[in-house]
Amino acid sequence: MAASKKKTPKKTARRGARAMTPAQAARILDILEKTYPEAECALHHRNAFELVSATILSAQCTDQRVNMVTPALFARYPTPAALAEAQPAELEAIIQSTGFFRSKAKSLIGCARALVADHGGVVPRTMAEMVKLPGVGRKTANVVLGHAYDIAEGIAVDTHVLRVSNRLGMARGDDPIDVEQQLMAIVPKARWTRTTDLIIFHGRNICDARRPACGSCPLFALCPWRDKQAFANRVS
């Protein structure tokens, strides 16, 4: 057996960083609520099965692209039982434009088979059961539990949530699990699902990765990000 390579640890919260208080987090979320009352899960779905499938497809892919693919996907495979019997080549052809289609097809079929074999074709309602499904991690589980079942077991942390929460000082670090725990510590459970939607909307509309519109940001006065002034002074 070849010697295993030593993994480089992910960055976690910076030592000495001042933690945000629940009151400060609430003020930020209140402003985002007023700014984005329409914020919701962007993945089109009619039930938990469709949402878990769409979320698996959304890895390294835009929600818009996923929404273009899922109508044909669910027309061909409307239930876990149907998807469990899918031929990989046929499924791959349907989802190819979402990228990484071979691994995603494997996850979709594996997830569907697990749903049929272990849950009677029904998406489970607990984090412990969700993360056992092929292709499902905490982020996907949080999305499905929160939006399909209105069950808050955590906060879904994607690239938008990582970026925006760090810039706003709500969390520190680039490990999704660590950032999720930091957010859960300052946000009341009743707002966990909503927090993801609001921060994602803000990340897409204002707090872009490369060209954030800091000059138009409703959180500018509260944001501690050191580069905000430079972007606020930029002229499009």
Is residue 189 among the annotated active site residues? no
Q: Which two tokens stand for residue 125?
A: 């309602």
Q: Which of 104, 158, 197, 228 is catalytic?
A: 158
* Cα 53 from Cα 10, distance rounded (Å): 28
Name the token pair of 58.
């959304």
Instruction: Give me the DSSP letters along 116-151.
Output: HHHHTT---SSHHHHTTSTT--HHHHHHHHHHHS--
| Rounded Cα distance, 90 and 68, in Å | 17
Question: Choosing from 139, 174, 178, 227, which is the catalytic residue?
Answer: 139
Q: What angle do CA 177, 183, 187 make, to 5 degrees?
A: 145
175 assigned to active site: no
Sequence-separated (6 or more) residues with CB below 8 Å from residue 226: none
Side chain identity at 148, as an amino acid letter?
A
CA 169, 172, 176, 180 dihedral sign is negative
Rounded (5°) CA angle 128-160-64: 90
Distance CA 47, CA 232 (A): 41
Which residues are designated catalytic? 139, 158
